[in-house]
Amino acid sequence: MKKGQVCLTGIKPTGTPHIGNYVGAIKPALDLVDRASTALYFIADYHALTAIQDPAQLDQLIYEVAATWLALGLDPSRVVFYRQSDVPEVFELAWILSCLTAKGLMNRAHAYKAAVMKNREEGVPDDDAGVNMGLYSYPILMAADILLFNADTVPVGSDQVQHLEIARDIAQHFNHTFGDTLTLPAYQIKEDVAAIPGLDGRKMSKGYGNTIPLFGPPDQLRKLIFRYVTDSSSPADPKDPDKSALFLIYREFASAEQTEAMRARYAAGIGWGEVKDALFQTLDAFLSTPRKRYQELLANRGEIDALLAQGSAKARALAAPTIERVRRAVGVRGV
């Protein structure tokens, strides 16, 4: 990403943040702060409504996500940190974009196609059973999140590339119809980020129930680490660290010197119990201070509310020129 660009990252509050979220999303996104002229980080609470319809649960998750980012070092004085639902311009733009987006484009969106395929595999006669319009039109709301702020770069995982391509398609169609108005965003794939294995060896995911929460108490952290599935090799057997889930996690939280030392211990032979204990000690040391800050923030939601309100004011100020251009372009505020 070039210095001076606008970078935007959305965080959907659909589960308690875990170490896979930190490695795959939070850590890379925090690294972008020094490389952008404007960095926007938002809690995508309305996106979460496609899956969560329990108001108490959603409310709790919103605060957990906000506290997680703040505890891990996000500085609201250097970025725009806001709650999506506090910026009504997002939803106005989403409706305008919906009126220009072909249904066929939404038919090809991965999440919708996956839901249809699941129904067919299970013999459900209605392809659209269980599909709400939020899930169906999710890419349009995501496009509004991005286009409203003239984002140049959006860091995404490979599974989100299609959404960025859809946002570009929508922006191009808008500009072709109404004149050059919206910035076309580019995606930045986090190719160097490893998929963090869960307790059962599969990718860490709340859907699999194999996660390690970032800010659980130390005894829970230790218990979960010692549940990791390992092979039956003896302590004296040399082991390949690059094929070890425990090592993949360890290297994300240890120093370079610690990582190389652990790699050497694998080559010489080390027991899995020793590896798990070293991983626990390293993770607990890394998370100790953020854990305390996280707990303080959740105990004082007013501080989170104040920071998000300040960020939302900044976000709306940035959004105002774009939404005015869009209104004039489509004719609802004159030309």
The answer on 127 and 253 residing in a single domain is: no
Per the structure, the count of domains in the chain is: 2
The answer on 306 and 290 residing in a single domain is: no
The answer on 308 and 175 residing in a single domain is: yes
Q: Which domain holds residue 277?
A: 218-295
Contact 97, 174 (CB under 8 A): yes
Quick check: helix, strand or coil at residue 163?
helix
Query: Does residue 207 belong to any structural domain of this protein?
Result: no
- 24-28, 126-130, 172-176: the lowest-pLDDT one: 24-28
**Measured between alpha carbons, how far is 265 from 271 in angstroms, rounded to an integer?**
10
Query: Does residue 213 belong to any structural domain of this protein?
Result: no
The answer on 247 and 324 residing in a single domain is: no
Query: Does residue 285 belong to any structural domain of this protein?
Result: yes
The CATH number for 182's domain is: 3.40.50.620
Query: Does residue 119 belong to any structural domain of this protein?
Result: yes
pLDDT of 269 reads 94
Query: Does residue 212 belong to any structural domain of this protein?
Result: no
In the structure, what pLDDT confidence band is assigned to residue 191 with cuts at 50, 70 and 90? low
In the structure, what pLDDT confidence band is assigned to residue 120 with cuts at 50, 70 and 90? very high
pLDDT of 299 reads 97
Of 161, 142, 190, 203, nearest to 18 by C-alpha is 203
The answer on 138 and 50 residing in a single domain is: yes
The answer on 139 and 75 residing in a single domain is: yes
The answer on 143 and 16 residing in a single domain is: yes
Query: Does residue 268 belong to any structural domain of this protein?
Result: yes
Quick check: helix, strand or coil at residue 74?
coil
Q: What is the mean pLDDT of the chain?
A: 93
The answer on 311 and 248 residing in a single domain is: no
The CATH number for 289's domain is: 1.10.240.10
pLDDT digits (tens, 9 = 90+) for 76-100: 999 999 999 999 999 999 999 999 9
The answer on 83 and 230 residing in a single domain is: no
pLDDT digits (tens, 9 = 90+) for 18-48: 998 898 888 888 888 888 899 999 999 999 9
The answer on 78 and 142 residing in a single domain is: yes
pLDDT of 334 reads 64
The answer on 309 and 290 residing in a single domain is: no
The answer on 72 and 29 residing in a single domain is: yes
Query: Does residue 165 belong to any structural domain of this protein?
Result: yes
Residue 331 φ/ψ region, left for φ over 0, alpha for ψ in the -120 to 50 degree band, beta for the rest: left
Average pLDDT estimate for 125-136 = 94
- The 3-class SS string of 231-297 reads CCCCCCCCCCHHHCHHHHHHHHHCCHHHHHHHHHHHHHCCCHHHHHHHHHHHHHHHHHHHHHHHHHH
Query: Does residue 87 belong to any structural domain of this protein?
Result: yes
